[in-house]
Structure 1
């Protein structure tokens, strides 16, 4: 489904974001990318959907190069890739339904979407997506009236309405409390399993990676320093990723109360 071939990214100021990345991610995997801030996690995700151009190498999506694609071909590839951001990226002053319908814009002309003229089938798709994340009853409420967790569920529903085959989530729970964090991660895991949507998530929380991932990729200074199953992600391997031992009290433990939460 997704193949990265010798992908590197150097920013204009000379900072190396990615260095010679080679990865193959199969259909239906739930991959969690971990690493320190600045390790290249967001750069990697943004490169996969071409929000950021790579300096060298190639990224293939289902056998097509998104790196070299342009125009209608690029739009067609991107239509299959849903993006979930830490900051939700919603239009706060419009309804939840309208936000979810924005996932359908890739299927229609610019003029039609400019006037918000979506066919009945699109509305049904959007409502079904909201139902899948358990907030259909919020469809006609303004997005700014929702809690943070509910807003993130709207962004998940938007990716579902897009009928994406790949979901990329960049720190989707970083601004949420522990209980809501688990609920959002449960939604992503359920969608991955039920719909076989390839899911790649950037996380700071090690125990969340261990609880939800089928595969963990560790980045350090733009390089892949670990790529393996959850069982292979031992404390020793995590120490290699973070450049130091990862202490138990730095893990987000769902059994704790909400007062003492550690972040890696």
Structure 2
């Protein structure tokens, strides 16, 4: 369980990235966070693995306030909370398999991983996870030879190989076309279900949020303005979240 208790984040210039956030995120939920650019979506999910650090309140993960963590505890937290980035965050010159094995870094250690000294069970785990996202045949290709959708599926395989309990996905389909976006989101949702992972995904597109989320959290100007089941969300809800009428650009469009 993840709990935000009166969490705020004020930057040195005085700008408030988060304002008095109170949320409870239960084990196994697939949550989509929506809002305009600058609404605080990335700040919210990156606070869960302390890539950003709130300045007020308590942020509890499994009952412990992670805002009080030292470096050792932070490393353990980041092993437990895996991250998927918009730009894939792969090492282009390395093989797909080596990129996925990077998910074992928190378990294997830096020196052993740099030398490629991964236990055979880790290699099998990485290959199995590539198979789960349908690209095991790409295991020995350089990462930069893959399409954007394939690279993002490598990112999913890598984060699952990390064996986290939480996945944080920061605009994972923002750089992809509509059909590929659906493939990536379906893989992410399926694997989250299969492994009972708590997953938070930042999205801009409202149709995708409604299609894949169990629960939608809406942010505007760093504040939670909606929190409820996806099947209760209407176009009016999104207009309230965005603070304006819905535009065509807010809809992803397309399908497989």
Distance 1:145 1:248 in 2: 33
Aligned match of 1:91:
91
Counterpart check, 1:228 vs 2:225 = no
Counterpart check, 1:192 vs 2:182 = no
Aligned match of 1:72:
72
Q: What TM-score, normalized to structure 1?
A: 0.93
Q: Moved runs in structure 1, 4+ residues, more than 3 A?
A: 247-250
SS at match of 1:117: coil
Distance 1:210 1:95 in 2: 35
CA-to-aligned-CA distance 1:188-224 (integer Å, 9 cap, x gap): 1101211111110000100000000000000000000
Contiguous gaps of at least 5 residues in structure 1: 258-264
Aligned match of 1:102:
102
SS at match of 2:67: coil
Aligned match of 2:15:
15
Q: What TM-score, normalized to structure 2?
A: 0.96
Contiguous gaps of at least 5 residues in structure 2: none
Shift of 1:249: 7.2
Shift of 1:248: 6.2
Count, aligned residues: 256
Shift of 1:237: 1.6
Shift of 1:73: 2.0
Shift of 1:247: 4.4
Given that 2:18 and 2:222 are in contact with CA atoms closer than 8 Å, whether structure 1 keeps it comes out as yes
SS at match of 1:253: coil
CA-to-aligned-CA distance 1:13-66 (integer Å, 9 cap, x gap): 211100010110111111000001000001111111100111111211122222
Given that 2:204 and 2:250 are in contact with CA atoms closer than 8 Å, whether structure 1 keeps it comes out as no
Distance 1:45 1:64 in 2: 17
CA RMSD of aligned residues (A): 1.4
Aligned match of 1:260:
none
Shift of 1:111: 2.4
Greater helix proportion? 2
